[in-house]
A = this chain, B = another copy of it.
Amino acid sequence: MTKRSVEILDVTLRDGSHSMKHAFTKEQVRETAKGLDKAKVNYFEVSHGDGLGGSSLQYGLSLVDELELIEVAASVCEYSKISVLLLPGIGTKNDLNDAVKAGAKMVRVATHITEADVAKQHIELGRELGLKTVGFLMMAHMAPVEKLVEQAKLFESYGAEVVYVTDSAGALLPHEVTERITALKNELSCEIGFHGHNNLSMAMANTVAAVQAGATYIDGSLRALGAGSGNTQTEVMVAVLEKMGYNTGIDLYSIIDVANDVVAQYMPRPQEINGSSLIMGYSGVYSSFLLHTEKAAKRFGIDERDILIELGRMQAVGGQEDLIYEVAAKIAHNSSNTHTEAPIS
């Protein structure tokens, strides 16, 4: 009595790039790719953490060009196929053409949850190039379900074969994942995917909720290596899904081996949930705000967590970093009023 199959896509060599400060070496990529191939992972992703073309002063310079890393990974795989991430505005159509020459067989075009329309030409190019083509809606917790469905339908209309709900800040809880995946299953014909982060220690539970609601593509990372508190841990997910009767097609011992014998050996530190990443998940604010928030908190002599939680409440998005100082000033002002004025009874 085998339940249906689930496609696990491993993002160690892309989301893990954040934890590695974009310093993956060819040797690390080669050994990880070999291990993923041996374990029979269908697709794994290789790109700068912020996608093709991400290597920059703003997003962090890669130690080794991602095209070389894609080539190395593709060269050692007999079974696995390489995916690349592309954020329109960071990566270009040229970058995608180059990645395909280097060996990529899948593209995931990623936009903010409300911005799917910027992905049209990249999705279309992916299909033209014969790639498996995926839409990736980031910061999915920031929009109501109806908005998510609307944006996912745009991706589908452009030709995406899979649309992902991407919990970039690790802010979703299982019942919220169930609600979102169920809505997409009801309203779209393409396959649905889920990408989780562990900021609230819910990556695995969210993943299982997504699968139970009908998602067929699921992201994971070996040893959870990834941004924030890391991703759903691939090798644990294989064990859990197998225990629940799903078919992942991945060999459990081999995937544990590459996690322990390869990735655990090079990762700079274990992924954990610390104070900052917890508050990110709790407030739903993206990591790019963290550094500025610390500075603003110091300047105004307030707790940075108050700023992050207020930014989350306001649904601040990347690019609105100026808001940080406004919010900090307001909190400092209110707090000094509280201290100096008589309480209203």
Asked if B200 and A202 make an inter-chain contact with CB atoms under 8 angstroms apart, the answer reads: no
- CA–CA, A223 and B278, complex, Å: 11
Known: A270-B270, A274-B264. A282 touches B239 (CB 8 A): yes
Asked if A256 and B275 make an inter-chain contact with CB atoms under 8 angstroms apart, the answer reads: yes
Q: Does A269 contact B (CB under 8 A)?
A: yes
Q: Name the residue on B nearest A205 (C-beta).
A: B205
Name A249-273 residues within 8 Å CB distance of B. 252-253, 256-257, 259-260, 264, 269-273
Residue from the set A200, A279, A305 with the largest chain B CB neighbour count within 10 Å? A200
**For chain A, which range describes its interface: under 10, 10 to 19, 20 to 34, or 35 or more residues?**
35 or more
Chain A, 111-125, contact with B by CB distance < 8 Å: what is the 0/1 string? 000000000000000
Asked if B236 and A278 make an inter-chain contact with CB atoms under 8 angstroms apart, the answer reads: yes
- CA–CA, A281 and B233, complex, Å: 14
Q: Does A3 contact B (CB under 8 A)?
A: no
Residue from the set A202, A237, A257 with the largest chain B CB neighbour count within 10 Å? A202
A307 to chain B, nearest CB (A): 13
- Copy count, this protein chain: 2
Which of the residues B208, B256, B272 comes within 8 Å of A270, measured between beta carbons?
B272
Asked if A174 and B205 make an inter-chain contact with CB atoms under 8 angstroms apart, the answer reads: yes
Chain A, 173-215, contact with B by CB distance < 8 Å: what is the 0/1 string? 1100000000000000000000000101111110010000000
- CA–CA, A140 and B237, complex, Å: 22
- CA–CA, A244 and B202, complex, Å: 13
Chain A, 227-238, contact with B by CB distance < 8 Å: what is the 0/1 string? 000001101110
- CA–CA, A235 and B253, complex, Å: 33
Q: Name the residue on B nearest A174 (C-beta).
A: B205
Which of the residues B205, B269, B278 comes within 8 Å of A256, measured between beta carbons?
B278
Which of the residues B200, B239, B271, B282 comes within 8 Å of A200, measured between beta carbons?
B239
Task: Kindly list chain B residues whose C-beta atoms are within 8 Å of the C-beta of A305.
Answer: 253, 256
Q: Does A339 contact B (CB under 8 A)?
A: no
Which of the residues B260, B270, B273, B279 comes within 8 Å of A233, measured between beta carbons?
B273
Residue from the set A236, A271, A279 with the largest chain B CB neighbour count within 10 Å? A236
Asked if B204 and A253 make an inter-chain contact with CB atoms under 8 angstroms apart, the answer reads: no
Task: Kindly list chain B residues whose C-beta atoms are within 8 Å of the C-beta of A232.
Answer: 201
Which of the residues B201, B244, B271, B279 comes within 8 Å of A203, measured between beta carbons?
B201
Task: Kindly list chain B residues whose C-beta atoms are within 8 Å of the C-beta of A203.
Answer: 201
Asked if A240 and B273 make an inter-chain contact with CB atoms under 8 angstroms apart, the answer reads: no
Q: Does A303 contact B (CB under 8 A)?
A: yes
Asked if B274 and A201 make an inter-chain contact with CB atoms under 8 angstroms apart, the answer reads: no
Asked if B274 and A233 make an inter-chain contact with CB atoms under 8 angstroms apart, the answer reads: no
Which of the residues B240, B271, B281 comes within 8 Å of A272, measured between beta carbons?
B271
- CA–CA, A239 and B274, complex, Å: 12
- CA–CA, A236 and B174, complex, Å: 15
Task: Kindly list chain B residues whose C-beta atoms are within 8 Å of the C-beta of A272.
Answer: 223-224, 270-272
A232 to chain B, nearest CB (A): 8
- CA–CA, A232 and B243, complex, Å: 21
- CA–CA, A260 and B224, complex, Å: 20
Sample of 20 further A-B pairs with CB below 8 A, known A201-B240, A272-B272? A174-B205, A200-B236, A200-B239, A201-B203, A201-B237, A204-B205, A205-B205, A223-B272, A233-B273, A236-B273, A236-B278, A239-B278, A239-B282, A243-B282, A253-B303, A256-B278, A257-B275, A260-B274, A270-B272, A271-B272
